Amino acid sequence: MIKLENVSKRFITGSSITDALLNINLEILENEFISLVGPSGSGKSTLLNLLGGLDTPTEGKIFIRNKNISEYDDSELSHYRNHEIGFVFQEFYLEPSLSVRENILLPKYFNSSTHGSDEYADKLIREVDLEIKRNSLITEISGGQKQRTAIARALINKPKILLADEPTGNLDLKTGQKIIELLKEIHQTHKVTLIIATHDEHLAKLAKRTIKLIDGKISEEKHN
Amino acid sequence: MLFKLTLKTIRDKKFRSILASLSITIGTASLIIFLGLANGIRTATFLEMEKSKPLTQITVRPDTSKSGMISFLAGTNKDALSDITIENISKIDGVKKIFPETQFNQFASIEAKILGFSLITDAMVFGLDKEFVLNDLKNPDSWNRTIEPYPAIIPRKLLDIYNLSIATPQGLPTLSEEGLLGKELIFYPNYSSFFPSMNKKTDEIKLEVVGFSDKVNLIGATLPSGVLNSLNEKYAPDSQKVFIELYVETETAEKTPIVAGEIEKLGLKTQYYQKDQEGVEAKFQYLTISLGAISMIILLTSAIAIISTFLATIAERTKEIGLYRALGATKTHIKKLILTEAGIIGLIGSITGIIIGILGSKIIDIYGIQQLASTTFKPETIFNIDYKLITFTLIFGTLLSILAAYIPAQKASKINPITALSK
């Protein structure tokens, strides 16, 4: 489903050149649960950004269902992000002026097909256990509830791939645990390919496969 | 859905939206006031012109470029208007009626004794038929009087000249139509203060002011034709029987220029509303352009304020826009979001500006009308804010806001989601 061929990403800031990713070759199957581990600056987030269509590789090709997304123009990438990808961020990135339900529906604002989205949003709200907070503002809910909202938002357009960048990074241990459980459950019920970048060893071990990155290269790959 | 999101943004950033909207309000209000004023003055002027020259009236004069002004005024011109001229004009298709205007063919002065002051001036005296001045007479029967005091009509503009140029600067009492109506005037034939040989009052003829008119000759008093003819027979028996002007009434306003063309072919000069209108219209175009340009400068300032506000907003909303991009918003979505917001702000600002402009014009109108009260130019309003101006302002204000937000929208659409989210 996902195939990376010699993917490299280089950042140039003034005179400084950083190779965030170097010759990554990787294949991820449909409905697979992958964890990306590695120290800070190893390239985990960069890899997720490339897979999520937020950035394009300097070199190499990224195939998603046999389509080379590295050749997509801005409009195609936007469409890809909206339709094929669900993103969960460490910082949640929710709109504070909108309610939980409105935040979940946010990707629908950029989608021409909105049919049945209200009902689906309500279903997701039940699924992530936020029924009593559905009309609360983001400023009125806890960190765990925020991440639940972000997960529901990532699923609103029924994506095939769910990318999570340090989803428990801003949560306490107990709340983080619950989020991990939720992600695992969603992976199974929604049949999505789940790729999580994490420092959390417990979370990493829950994945079917763990890929370790060091200095932009795959240093280790193991099946759990 | 995008519209809903825009409304949400406007609600969340109320203060900024109000400020941006206010700049458009000021611009559109000024556009309404300035263009409404230009339109209003134009309309009032044309209405005033129509009073003195109805759309179906042509004033016919001899072509003095051939004969010279002196012979024309002295009535010795062979090309002067005569019964033959009337006969020729009456044959033209579209002519309904002809009103000849005669003049007193000698020097004359008129004296008015008002509020204890005695005013005497050289003046011309004209003669016209009742039908032509009927609407200007307080009592129509007064024009039939053939004994002294003879009925006389005073041109309204003469009152303005006296009130504005003589009475006000010299601290003399101003005159009103009501105050002058029924007053006695003394007409001195063969008397002129300009010429020493004519500086002797031989006779006194009593006149009574019976009405005021916009249509009669501006440089004197107008008496019934019959009275003037008998005065000419007595005081200027040798003078040629000619007319100073002919007022030709046409069947319809549309026929007026055609009839005038035919009259001109007879070697005569014509003057009529539609012809005057063209010249006046050109002058009003300058006024409209000038006032419009002032409004445009104000609106341009509004546009700069919009650009600046939106640029500041976008800098403030970088993360939010970055998130939208990460969630799948295209560059077009972001542009639409900003431009819709600008459109709504522009629309609200324009509607408010139109309301303020209309209210402002009403206030200025009251003041302006008060200032014109002492003149004979008394329009009902000096503003003309019609639906066309309102629609134009509404569309222009909204479009300007959208156009002004285009650069910020373009900038917003280029926001990189990764860079924005990492801020």
Nearest alpha carbon to residue B346 among B315, B309, B321, B316? B309
pLDDT in the model for residue B6: 86
Q: How many CB atoms lie within 10 A of CB B39?
A: 21
More confident residue, B106 or A125: A125
CB < 8 Å to A114, chain B: 1
Q: What SS3 string covers B130-151?
A: HHHHHHHECCHHHHHCCCCCEE
Question: Which of A49, A106, A107 shows the shortest C-beta gap to B418?
Answer: A49
Q: What is the mean pLDDT of chain B?
A: 88
Residues A160/A87, Cβ–Cβ less than 8 Å? no
Question: Closest Cα of chain B to A112: distance in Å?
Answer: 9
Q: pTM for this structure?
A: 0.73
pLDDT in the model for residue A28: 95
Question: Closest Cα of chain A to B322: distance in Å?
Answer: 10
Rounded CA separation B264/B257 (Å): 10
pLDDT in the model for residue B352: 97
Nearest alpha carbon to residue B104 among B239, B202, B293? B239
Here the CATH number for the domain that contains residue A57 is 3.40.50.300
More confident residue, B401 or A13: B401
pLDDT in the model for residue B64: 72
pLDDT in the model for residue A51: 96
Burial A164-194 (b: 16+ CB within 10 A, else e): bbbbbebbeeebbbebbebbeebbeebebbb
Instruction: Please say if the pLDDT value at position A88 is more than 90.
Output: yes
A135-173: pLDDT as tens digits:
999 999 999 999 999 999 999 999 999 999 999 988 898
Residues in chain A whose Cβ is within 8 Å of chain B: 49, 52, 54-55, 74-75, 78-79, 81-83, 87, 89, 91, 93, 95, 97-98, 102, 106-111, 114, 153, 157
pLDDT in the model for residue B13: 83
Domain of A47 in residue numbering reads as: 2-223
Helix (H, G, I), strand (E, B) or coil at B261: helix
Beta-carbon separation of A87 and B327 below 8 A: yes
Number of domains in chain A: 1
Dihedral of alpha carbons B90, B91, B92, B93, sign: positive
B20-62: pLDDT as tens digits:
999 999 999 999 999 999 999 888 888 887 777 788 999 999 8
pLDDT in the model for residue B42: 87
DSSP label at residue A16: E
Overall average pLDDT of the A94-115 stretch: 87
pLDDT in the model for residue B70: 55
B124 phi and psi angles, rounded to 5 deg? -100, 150
Give the number of A-B residue pairs with CB atoms closer than 8 Å.
64
Dihedral of alpha carbons B299, B301, B307, B309, sign: negative
- Residue B404 is which amino acid? A
| Confidence band for A58, pLDDT divided at 50, 70 and 90 | very high
Taking only the tens of pLDDT, chain B with its 423 residues reads: 678 788 888 888 888 899 899 999 999 999 999 999 999 988 888 888 777 778 899 999 988 766 555 554 555 555 678 888 999 999 999 999 999 999 998 888 998 887 777 888 888 899 999 999 888 888 889 999 989 899 999 998 888 888 888 787 888 778 888 888 898 999 999 888 777 777 777 889 999 999 999 888 888 899 999 999 999 999 888 877 778 899 999 999 899 999 999 999 998 999 888 888 888 888 888 888 898 899 889 989 999 999 999 999 899 899 999 999 999 999 999 999 999 999 999 999 999 999 999 999 999 999 888 887 766 677 888 899 999 999 999 999 999 999 999 999 999 999 999 989 887
Q: How many CB atoms lie within 10 A of CB B286?
A: 10
Helix (H, G, I), strand (E, B) or coil at B247: strand
pLDDT in the model for residue B255: 92
Question: Which of B12, B327, B418 shows the shortest C-beta gap to A106?
Answer: B327
Task: Give residue B220's Cα distance to chain centre.
Answer: 24
Neighbouring residues of A143: CB distance < 8 A, sequence distance ≥ 6? A92, A170, A171, A172, A175
User: B417 at the A interface (CB within 8 A)?
Assistant: yes
CB < 8 Å to B4, chain A: 109
Burial B304-342 (b: 16+ CB within 10 A, else e): ebbbebbeebbeebbbbbbbbbbbbbbbebbbbbbbbbb
Residues A176/A206, Cβ–Cβ less than 8 Å? no
Residues A208/A221, Cβ–Cβ less than 8 Å? no
pLDDT in the model for residue B71: 52
What are the beta bridge partners of residue A33?
Answer: A194
Residues A101/A125, Cβ–Cβ less than 8 Å? yes
pLDDT in the model for residue A116: 73
Distance in angstroms between the alpha carbons of the first and the last residue of chain A: 20
Residues A141/A64, Cβ–Cβ less than 8 Å? no
Helix (H, G, I), strand (E, B) or coil at A148: helix
Angle at B289 between CA B288 and CA B295, to 5 degrees: 90
